[in-house]
Chains A and B, each alone.
Chain A
Amino acid sequence: MSVQHNDSAKFLVGVYDDDEVVLKAVTEVKSAGVRIHEVYSPFPIHGLDVALGHPRTRIGIAAFLFGLSGLLTMIALTYYTMGYDWPMIIGGKDHYAYPAYIPVMFELTVLFTALGMVGTFLVSNGLGPTVKPLMFDLRSTDNKFVMAIDLSKNKQSEAEIATVLRASGAAEVNVKQF
């Protein structure tokens, strides 16, 4: 989730040079009792979400439900048009010759899954064309790995946290205020 826009939010930003270092650093910083706001990276680092303690995403359930709704929509549409509204005998088969509708049912299942899941993804991550991202360091989409610590959510002093970050391998420690 994106950060709330309150004017007082002050962050300490650890900038790391290496994806393996930042992955280890997460555990070290956490064991030092510092709460991490989020880690930003230019590419996905496997195991990072687990190290940070993020819960497993449930977006797959949403995808399944969207797929199911696509399937049911097409079953309803084919049944209504071919079997109920204007039944015709085509090729001597039943009005509702469902095996012939499997291809369209499949297509609509896929379409609903894809659009619904991606839509859910955008909404749940607060992404959209007018969204202004909170960038702790512009290089975090290029070559650096950035750990953000919300100072208001930690008891330790700024200097103490900075020491922990440096000890965990951060190349730079900056202050960022929104």
Chain B
Amino acid sequence: MHVTSPVRTPLVTGGKTYADVTEDICKQVEGKPTRAWTIAFVISFVVLIYGTCCVFWTWWEGLGVWGLNKTVGWAWDITNFVWWVGIGHAGTLISAILLLFRMKYRTSINRAAEAMTIFAVLCAASFILMHMGRPWLAYWALPLPNTFGSLWVNFNSPLVWDVFAISTYFTVSLVFWYMGLVPDLATIRDRATSKVSRYIYGAFSLGWNGGAKTWARYEYISLILAGISTPLVLSVHTIVSMDFATSVIPGWHTTIFPPYFVAGAIFSGFAMVQNLMLITRVVFKLEDYITFEHIESMNKIILLTGSIVGVAYITEFFIAWYSGVEYERYAFLNRMMGPYWWAYWMMMSCNVISPQLFWSRRIRRSITWTFVLSVIVNIGMWFERFVIIVTSLHRDYLPSSWAMFTPTMFDIGDYIFSFGFFFTLFLLFAKFLPVINMFEVKAIIRSASERLPTSVSGVAKGESVTNPTFNKNVE
């Protein structure tokens, strides 16, 4: 039997039974949409429509509608791409790395965090398509025979690695997330009262019935999926960073990029998870499942990764000076004191200084502070990518080609598109799928609940204590 030290803070409060867990989480799926959800959905959808119009115009007219010029050939597109991919990393970290480390607090947040990963990667991929200018030729990025249009792709190029990394990452995350959903979908199927939902959830739950042999294999494949997702998630942002690091642009040609990008990705991703979970928790009344302990644990990771990012910024600077390369030194001084100084200091204050407030336990356990700091972290991480991309490009070896970048309404509109897309998908997820992994929470109730009820199983919906003939098929 598993015994947990009383020193550990409980992860599920309110003395929940197994039936309570099912009821609290399925209620959101089975009930009518709440007013808060409907309003949020309408807003996201309107934003998505506006953004879609902007994206459509970008494709119709070509990339000339963006503020790019001959000197700054990458700006908001790749900034947004890296930002969204980075956000996605937290979901995999929570579901895979925390599973390998047996961190129980993952159970209440992994479902929503993985959903966030999938939607964030879709947003990131949309910028890849956009920045191609001719998205109908996107298949040229795949290794197709020469007679198909272009030559074989160049496997020496990190951009080709990225095609493989992002598509593998998306597919594996989707599979991992969906496999996690299957047992919970079966729960919803078995509770369903309408024919339509029994049919839909029945099809998606793949005929799951929770037999011991199935569970044993299921746990085994979850472990392997976690084991392969862990190096995968690290490889994805490593490869994204190599899009820059393997070039010879001063400010990009940096060997520290892979670990620094991975830490930054987890940093911004956790901040996004905090924002999403803090809202979901209140709107869906999940305070017993997403407790202050969860919020604090995530804030500790934000503090750790934020500090790693801070050290990386300083190391970059030191190495630029220590290398003795004039151009490298200039690139970094230009970041700090050039015309984009405000973006640099925005990045420094949001990413390096603000997370240090999390050293205070009071701030780590404060909802307001957590929410505000998480927003600040994500603003900072967007500026980090902007600083790396735009300030390294806008002034290089040839002073006569120095230029500035100014976004147009389509740069902004295409970014807005990704927000509309992301929140529309997330809200649909929150309404139609269980936002908390019910079976994993049930599995930790015994060891991590605040107090155990006298009967741990509780009373299921439609089951009467005096007349236990809930099962319609009993003869």
B210 at the interface (CB under 8 A from A): yes
Chain A nearest CB, measured from B124 CB (Å): 16
**Residue numbers in A under 8 Å from B215 (CB-CB):** 41, 43-45, 48-49
Q: By the criterion CB–CB under 8 Å, are A141 and B190 in contact?
A: yes
In the bound assembly, the distance between CA atoms of A164 and B143 in angstroms comes to 63
In the bound assembly, the distance between CA atoms of A131 and B182 in angstroms comes to 13
> Which of B115-123, B165-173, B323-331 lies at the interface?
B165-173
Q: How many B residues touch the partner, as a band?
A: 35 or more
**Residue numbers in A under 8 Å from B461 (CB-CB):** 142
Q: By the criterion CB–CB under 8 Å, are A139 and B217 in contact?
A: no
> Which of B15-23, B32-40, B266-274 lies at the interface?
B15-23
Highest count of chain B CB atoms <10 Å: which of A67, A113, A175: A113
Residues 140-178 of A at the B interface (beta carbon under 8 Å): 140-145, 171-172, 174-177
Task: Return the CB mask of A123-141 against B: 1 if under 8 Å, else 0.
Answer: 0111111111111011111
In the bound assembly, the distance between CA atoms of A29 and B160 in angstroms comes to 58
Q: By the criterion CB–CB under 8 Å, are B209 and A140 in contact?
A: yes
Given contacts A63-B224, A100-B156, contact A133 B207 (CB under 8 A): yes
**Residue numbers in B under 8 Å from A88 (CB-CB):** 154
Given contacts A40-B210, A104-B164, contact A176 B474 (CB under 8 A): yes
Residues 413-459 of B at the A interface (beta carbon under 8 Å): 438-440, 442-443, 446, 455-459
Chain A nearest CB, measured from B270 CB (Å): 23
In the bound assembly, the distance between CA atoms of A174 and B469 in angstroms comes to 9
Q: By the criterion CB–CB under 8 Å, are B190 and A138 in contact?
A: yes
Q: By the criterion CB–CB under 8 Å, are B224 and A43 in contact?
A: no
Q: By the criterion CB–CB under 8 Å, are A132 and B17 in contact?
A: no
Chain A nearest CB, measured from B439 CB (Å): 4
B191 at the interface (CB under 8 A from A): yes
**Residue numbers in B under 8 Å from A52 (CB-CB):** 212-213
Q: By the criterion CB–CB under 8 Å, are A57 and B22 in contact?
A: no
Chain B nearest CB, measured from A83 CB (Å): 10
B4 at the interface (CB under 8 A from A): no
Chain A nearest CB, measured from B43 CB (Å): 34
Task: Return the CB mask of B181-208 against A: 1 if under 8 Å, else 0.
Answer: 0110011011100000000001111111
Given contacts A106-B231, A141-B186, contact A114 B212 (CB under 8 A): no
Q: By the criterion CB–CB under 8 Å, are A78 and B155 in contact?
A: yes
In the bound assembly, the distance between CA atoms of A104 and B458 in angstroms comes to 50
Q: By the criterion CB–CB under 8 Å, are B442 and A110 in contact?
A: no
In the bound assembly, the distance between CA atoms of A84 and B443 in angstroms comes to 54
> Interface on chain A toward B: helix, strand, loop, or mixed SS?
mixed
Chain A nearest CB, measured from B168 CB (Å): 4
B152 interface neighbour in A19, A85, A118, A141, Cβ under 8 Å: A85
Highest count of chain A CB atoms <10 Å: which of B155, B229, B439: B155
Chain B nearest CB, measured from A52 CB (Å): 5
Q: By the criterion CB–CB under 8 Å, are A54 and B212 in contact?
A: yes
B218 at the interface (CB under 8 A from A): yes
Q: By the criterion CB–CB under 8 Å, are B220 and A57 in contact?
A: yes
**Residue numbers in B under 8 Å from A140 (CB-CB):** 209-210
Chain A nearest CB, measured from B2 CB (Å): 8
Given contacts A111-B171, A133-B209, contact A42 B442 (CB under 8 A): yes
Chain B nearest CB, measured from A24 CB (Å): 11
Q: By the criterion CB–CB under 8 Å, are B209 and A135 in contact?
A: yes
Given contacts A44-B443, A137-B471, A143-B457, contact A97 B156 (CB under 8 A): yes
B439 interface neighbour in A38, A43, A77, A139, Cβ under 8 Å: A43
Q: By the criterion CB–CB under 8 Å, are B210 and A141 in contact?
A: yes
In the bound assembly, the distance between CA atoms of A63 and B217 in angstroms comes to 12
B216 at the interface (CB under 8 A from A): yes
Q: By the criterion CB–CB under 8 Å, are A111 and B471 in contact?
A: no
Complex: chain B residue closest to A139, CB-CB: B460
Complex: chain B residue closest to A102, CB-CB: B161
B209 interface neighbour in A93, A100, A134, Cβ under 8 Å: A134
Q: A2-B209, A19-B446, A57-B216 are in contact. List 17 more A-B contacts (CB 8 A).
A: A1-B213, A18-B456, A40-B209, A42-B187, A43-B439, A44-B215, A44-B218, A82-B152, A86-B152, A103-B235, A103-B242, A104-B160, A114-B171, A133-B209, A137-B471, A139-B471, A176-B473
**7 closest A-B pairs by CB:** A131-B207, A143-B18, A49-B216, A143-B19, A81-B152, A133-B209, A44-B215
List 23 interface pairs A-B (beta carbons < 8 Å), by A numbering: A2-B209, A40-B209, A42-B439, A97-B156, A100-B155, A103-B165, A103-B235, A106-B231, A107-B161, A107-B164, A110-B172, A113-B228, A114-B171, A118-B179, A124-B217, A128-B206, A131-B207, A133-B209, A138-B191, A139-B463, A141-B187, A171-B468, A175-B475
